[in-house]
Structure 1
Amino acid sequence: MKTGRLEAFSDGVLAIIITIMVLGMSAPEGYTFEALKPILPIFLTYVLSFVYLGIYWNNHHHLLQAVNKVNGKILWANLNLLFWLSLLPFATDWMGKNHFEDNPTAIYGTVLFMAAIAFKILVYCVIKNEGKESNVGKVYKKDKRMNLSLFLYFAGVVISFFFPIVSLIVYLVVALMWVVPDRRIEKTINE
């Protein structure tokens, strides 16, 4: 199977996730800038989650550009990734409305951690299908950034029970690590 339907479906799901997330934000009753202060945590959490969804969309797009064909395992691995990403609106809303308290921050980190594992599984399935010497196989042979991200997400979840704000910084650092898409795929495709 070609990747077109998988990409289109994933793009649609991600668009719906972003829509659900933004619909979870409500304007304050007041008309002054002071009225915005109580919803600032909600807005900041939305921005972080939007950046994360953008990162996943971008890296997903890059990954599938290097794929020649998909199989059932890749389809299920992709659904696994979309499942975890679909929980981001809930985690975003809960953490933002509770002003970064420990439990919501831990759940937010857990969703990020599980989405990262799901992406790693998707990459594994693609490599298994395409071969270790494929473009994707060469790029992800030793992916230190992906493994470091998993470690930082896990650490962020643990830290959230003691210092939730530090966890947010950890989650932000991981996002900054991934803001620039993995250019190794572009390089291997263009060779």
Structure 2
Amino acid sequence: MNKARIEAFTDAILAILVTIMVLEFHVPKTADWQSLVKENGVYFIAYVIAFADVSVSWYNHHYLLALAERINKAVYWSNMLWMFTLSLIPFAVAFISEHPANSTPAIFYLAVNIAWALSYLNLSQQIARANNSDIAKKIQLMPIYSYLHSSWLAVYPLAFVILFFWPPIVIVMGAIEIIIAAFKSNNPEIDFK
């Protein structure tokens, strides 16, 4: 399978996803700052979080595919699963923005985040299997790969308990994850094309 085709398809899907996210903004009924904040303020925060999440995810995905020399059917389907879980993140964040005091949207967001993490790990492993051992080692050196294998994920069960008392904990946790993933430097041993 041609790697460029899977990269182009993924880029197109993510571009559409971001476009749909921005179309969820509504023009305020009056032309003042108060209406703008009142009608779009909560969604704007959700949009920023979802946009950052998609951006960081895309960067790491691009980095991962830059390492790959061979793409097979397992990589293709793993990539599709990863895109599916990523496409749910903006909806999950918007769901929380509509019902910030309710635990159901928070549980959904947490489940989507876990599904995204597992699908990214699966995609990483499928690319490693489809390629040589040097590429597999480079994938394991990626910051996002080591992060997803770190003890940070032990926070998820704690967040699940806390969200019944304070549902926004999942958004706070998600924002921290985005910051860590965005600013953790890439390994200099990996060539980024």
TM-score, length of structure 1 as denominator length? 0.87
Deviation at 1:124, TM superposition (A): 0.7
2:154 and 2:13 map into 1 onto residues whose CA distance is 27
Please tell me whether the aligned partners of residues 67 and 139 of structure 2 are also in contact (alpha carbons under 8 angstroms): no
Please tell me whether the aligned partners of residues 26 and 39 of structure 2 are also in contact (alpha carbons under 8 angstroms): no
Please tell me whether the aligned partners of residues 77 and 121 of structure 1 are also in contact (alpha carbons under 8 angstroms): yes
Question: What is the alpha-carbon root mean square deviation over aligned residues?
Answer: 2.2
Change (3 A) 1:28 1:147: farther
Q: Which moved more, 1:28-37 or 1:151-160?
A: 151-160
Q: Which moved more, 1:90-99 or 1:18-27?
A: 90-99
Alignment-mate amino acid for residue 174 of structure 2: Y
Q: How many residue pairs get matched?
A: 188
Map 1:9-158 to 2 at 5 A.
9-35=9-35, 36-99=37-100, 101-131=102-132, 133-140=133-140, 143-148=145-150, 150-158=153-161
Alignment-mate amino acid for residue 114 of structure 1: A
1:133-185 deviation per Cα after TM superposition (whole angstroms, max 9, x unaligned): 2234344169431123543445434432221222221111111110136612x
Change (3 A) 1:172 1:187: same
1:30 and 1:157 map into 2 onto residues whose CA distance is 40
Alignment-mate amino acid for residue 147 of structure 1: H
1:54 and 1:113 map into 2 onto residues whose CA distance is 18
**Runs of at least 5 residues in structure 2 that lack an aligned partner in the other structure:** none
Identity of aligned residues (%): 26
Deviation at 1:100, TM superposition (A): 5.3
Change (3 A) 1:101 1:41: farther
Query: In the alignment, which residue of structure 2 is the partner of 1:3?
Result: 3
2:170 and 2:146 map into 1 onto residues whose CA distance is 21
2:90 and 2:139 map into 1 onto residues whose CA distance is 31
1:100 and 1:87 map into 2 onto residues whose CA distance is 20
1:48 and 1:117 map into 2 onto residues whose CA distance is 20
SS where residue 149 of structure 2 aligns?
Answer: helix
Query: In the alignment, which residue of structure 2 is the partner of 1:169?
Result: 172
Map 1:172-183 to 2 at 5 A.
172-180=175-183, 183=186
**Runs of at least 5 residues in structure 1 that lack an aligned partner in the other structure:** none
Alignment-mate amino acid for residue 180 of structure 1: F
SS where residue 183 of structure 2 aligns?
Answer: coil
1:27 and 1:49 map into 2 onto residues whose CA distance is 20
